[in-house]
Structure 1
Amino acid sequence: MSVSTNLDARYGRTPNRRLRDRRSLWIAAGGFALVLVAWVVWAGLDGSKPLIEARDTRHSIIDEHSVSVTFEVSMPAGTAASCAVEALNENFTIVGWKVVDLAPSDRYTRSFTEIIRTTELSNTGLIYRCWLT
């Protein structure tokens, strides 16, 4: 037996070892591909959409202690929801907050305008979040 054959055998570099390593890599890659495909089907292709969507359309600073916020809410007809509307100052600190209850309607998308009282001058007003009730 040659010196390189002895060293290969000693350190596990035999043809059987290479075949076993290659087989293990193929099995691991196949498992990863299977998990990836399952995740894509579960997360991306299930067809579910959010039940409620809210979008800021405009805000208007009325005075030092109030801001008007206009927003649109899209949700299934006949369902009630609530939305949190907030006013922020120039440091992005919340200076006003209001939870607005939205009654059920037969329309999918509706527009609302709310006046938010603030503790100091705000520079923006926006929707924080909406949820079905």
Structure 2
Amino acid sequence: MAEAETDALDARYGRTRTHRTRDRLLLAGGAVAFAIVLVAWVVWAGLDGQKPQVEATDTGHRLINEERLVEVSWNLSVPPGNDTACIVQALNEDFTVVGWKVVEVPASTRHIRSLTETVRVAQEANTGLIYSCWLT
């Protein structure tokens, strides 16, 4: 095949020098975009400084209705050395909050602690539980 025919076929099917340069630039641009997205994801997901996890689990409650009190017991799991606060609440039979209290829990060297707190109620309560906990 003559060189002129080969050049014509290359031009026809996009195999010219300008097409190859354009393809290389597109490939390099795609690789750079992928690298930027990957680095951003690593910074966002891995290097953002994980915060300690707080977990509270209800273990029981005791109704002291003649005194309008509910005693709530729970386990608190928090990394040692962190002050924590929890909301303890009492509910009636309609699941309406009839009493609540914010409890400040000082830092400790123990990871898991068992705690009990008494909540005064405005009406007769059926249960008591931990609503939420957070680091202070």
| Whole-angstrom CA distance in 2 between matches of 1:103 and 1:78 | 9
Alignment correspondent of 1:55: 57
Alignment correspondent of 1:33: none
Structure 2 residue runs without a partner (length 5+):
1-37
User: Which amino acid counterpart does residue 55 of structure 1 have in structure 2?
Assistant: T
1:112 to 112, 115, 122: 115
| Whole-angstrom CA distance in 1 between matches of 2:102 and 2:114 | 16
Moved segments of 4+, more than 2 Å: none
Alignment correspondent of 1:87: 90
- TM-score, normalization: structure 2? 0.62
Structure 1 residue runs without a partner (length 5+):
1-37
User: Secondary structure, in 3 states, of the residue corresponding to 2:113?
Assistant: strand
Give the count of matched residue pairs. 92
Alignment correspondent of 1:124: 127
Q: Deviations over 1:32-74 (max 9, x none)?
A: xxxxxx9xx99xx97x796110000000101151100000100
Give the CA RMSD over aligned residues: 2.1
Task: Identify if the C-alpha distance between structure 1 residues 114 and 53 changes in structure 2 by more than 3 Å, giving closer, same or farther.
Answer: same
Percent of counterpart pairs with the same letter? 49
